[in-house]
C-alpha cells in the first residue's frame, strides 16, 4: 500500500481548486474566476486498494496585505511542511513562466515536485511545449506535465505520476472519508462561492460567512448563516434594492448546498457589519481563520 500527502501550490487563479476536484472526481473546493477564492487548506482524500492520496488545495500564494492574508499564507506554509509530493501549478494563460518560476524557486521544497502546466485548452501547443521544457530544466522540478483541469484532461496520467512518487505506508484516513473538514465548513464555502459569483469588485474580499446553525430535521436541514462585511455600504450592496440581491444569493446558495447534501434545506441568511474584521484576531478566529 502507498499513502501520503500531495499538496498543491501556485498563484491565485491557477486552477488549484479545480484540480483538487478533478482528481477527486467530485466538487469539494469552491471555484471562481476571481483571484483569492480559497482561504483555507482543504484536504480531499482519494482511496483505492493500492493507495491513499491526501490531496491538499491551498490558498494562492500572495504578498500579505492584511491579517486574513497572513492566515491564508500560514495555511500554505503548513502544507509546505507536510507534503510528501508537491504539485506546483502554473497557469498557461499567463504571458510567460517567470512569475510562477519566481514563486516555485522560492519555496525550496525538499520533496519530489511535479510542475503542472494547466489550462492547455486555452493556449497553443507551442506555449505549452515551451513551458514544459522550461520547467523540466529547473532544479526543483522532478517532472512536468500539461493538463486541462477543467476538462479532467490528462488527470489520469497525472494520478499515475503521483502514485509512482508516493511513499509506501498505511492509510491515514478511513477508506470512505473524503475530507477531514465538517459539512458545516463546506456549507459556508458554498455561500462564499456564490458571493464571488454574484458580486463584483471589493465585495467578495470584504466578506466572510459564518454558519451559525446546522440542524438536521426529519424532512430537511435548517441552516442559518451570517454574511459578515466590513461596512454599512457593503451590507446595502449585498442586500440589494428591495432585498433582491440577498434573495438571488440565497437561491443560488441553496441550490448548490442541496446538490452537495443530496437533501432539501431551509436557508436563512443575515448580513452583519464587523468593521475591520480582516485585521482583527478575535474575529478571524471566530470565523474559522486559525
Ligand atoms: N480554461 C480553463 N480554465 C480553468 C482550468 N482550470 C481552472 N480554470 C478556471 O480558472 C479559474 C480559477 O480556478 P480555481 O480553481 O478557482 O483557481 P485557484 O488556483 O484555486 O484560485 P485561488 O483559490 O484564488 O488561489 C476558474 O474560472 C476556473 O474555471 C482549465 O483547465 N482550463
Ligand atoms: Mg482555490
State the 10-residue block means of pLDDT for the chain, 290 residues long. Answer: 97 98 96 98 97 98 98 97 97 97 95 98 97 98 97 92 95 96 97 98 97 94 98 98 98 97 96 98 95
Ligand nearest to the CA of residue 153, numbered in listed order:
1
Give the pLDDT confidence score for residue 290 in this predicted structure. 83
Residue with cell string 440565497: 250
β-sheet bridge partners, residue 2:
51, 168
Give the separation between CA 243 and CA 141, rounded to whole angstroms. 51
- Provide the grid cell at 261: 447534501
β-sheet bridge partners, residue 245:
none
- Cβ 229 vs Cβ 272: under 8 Å: yes
Atom of ligand 1 nearest to the CA of 30: 16
Nearest CA to ligand 1 atom 8: 15
Is there an atom of ligand 1 within 6 Å of 21 CB?
Answer: no
Ligand nearest to the CA of residue 36, numbered in listed order:
1
- Category of 242 on φ-ψ map: left (φ > 0), alpha (ψ -120 to 50) or beta: left
- Cβ 58 vs Cβ 43: under 8 Å: no
Nearest CA to ligand 1 atom 13: 15
Say how many C-beta atoms besides its own lie within 10 A of residue 205's C-beta. 17
pTM of the model: 0.97
Q: Which helix (H) or strand (E) holds 266?
A: strand 265-273
CA 36 / ligand 2 centre spacing (Å): 7
Q: Which residues surround ligand 2, an ion (CB under 5 A)?
A: 16-17, 37-38
- Provide the grid cell at 233: 455600504
Give the separation between CA 190 and CA 109, rounded to whole angstroms. 32
State the Cα angle at 93 between 197 and 125, rounded to 5°.
Answer: 135
Give the pLDDT confidence score for residue 254 in this predicted structure. 98
Is there an atom of ligand 1 within 6 Å of 73 CB?
Answer: no
Is there an atom of ligand 1 within 6 Å of 17 CB?
Answer: yes
- Cβ 50 vs Cβ 1: under 8 Å: yes
How many helices and strands, by DSSP H and E, does the chain display? 9, 9
Amino acid at each position: 500500500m502507498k499513502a501520503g500527502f500531495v499538496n498543491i501550490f501556485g498563484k491565485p487563479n491557477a486552477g488549484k481548486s479545480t484540480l483538487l476536484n478533478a482528481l477527486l472526481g467530485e466538487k469539494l473546493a469552491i471555484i471562481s474566476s476571481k483571484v483569492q477564492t480559497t482561504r483555507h487548506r482543504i484536504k480531499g482524500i482519494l482511496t483505492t486498494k493500492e493507495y491513499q492520496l491526501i490531496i491538499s488545495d491551498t490558498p494562492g500564494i500572495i504578498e500579505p496585505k492584511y491579517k486574513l492574508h497572513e492566515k491564508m499564507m500560514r495555511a500554505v506554509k503548513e502544507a509546505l511542511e507536510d507534503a510528501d509530493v508537491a504539485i506546483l501549478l502554473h497557469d498557461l494563460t499567463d504571458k510567460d513562466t517567470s512569475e510562477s518560476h519566481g514563486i516555485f524557486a522560492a519555496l525550496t521544497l525538499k520533496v519530489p515536485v511535479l510542475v503542472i502546466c494547466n489550462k492547455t485548452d486555452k493556449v497553443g501547443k507551442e506555449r505549452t511545449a515551451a513551458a514544459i521544457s522550461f520547467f523540466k530544466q529547473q532544479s526543483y522540478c522532478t517532472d512536468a506535465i500539461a493538463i486541462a483541469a477543467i476538462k479532467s484532461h490528462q488527470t489520469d496520467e497525472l494520478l499515475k505520476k503521483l502514485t509512482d512518487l508516493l511513499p509506501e505506508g498505511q492509510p491515514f484516513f478511513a477508506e470512505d472519508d473524503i475530507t477531514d473538514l465538517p459539512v458545516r465548513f463546506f456549507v459556508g464555502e458554498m455561500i462564499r462561492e456564490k458571493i464571488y459569483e454574484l458580486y463584483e469588485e471589493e465585495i467578495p474580499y470584504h466578506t466572510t460567512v459564518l454558519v451559525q446553525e446546522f440542524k438536521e430535521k426529519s424532512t430537511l436541514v435548517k441552516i442559518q448563516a451570517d454574511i459578515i462585511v466590513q461596512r454599512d455600504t457593503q451590507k446595502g450592496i449585498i442586500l440589494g434594492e428591495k432585498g433582491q440581491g440577498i434573495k438571488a444569493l440565497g437561491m443560488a446558495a441553496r441550490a448548490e448546498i442541496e446538490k452537495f447534501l443530496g437533501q432539501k434545506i431551509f436557508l436563512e441568511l443575515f448580513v452583519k457589519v464587523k468593521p475591520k474584521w480582516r485585521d482583527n484576531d478575535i474575529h478571524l478566529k471566530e470565523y474559522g481563520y486559525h
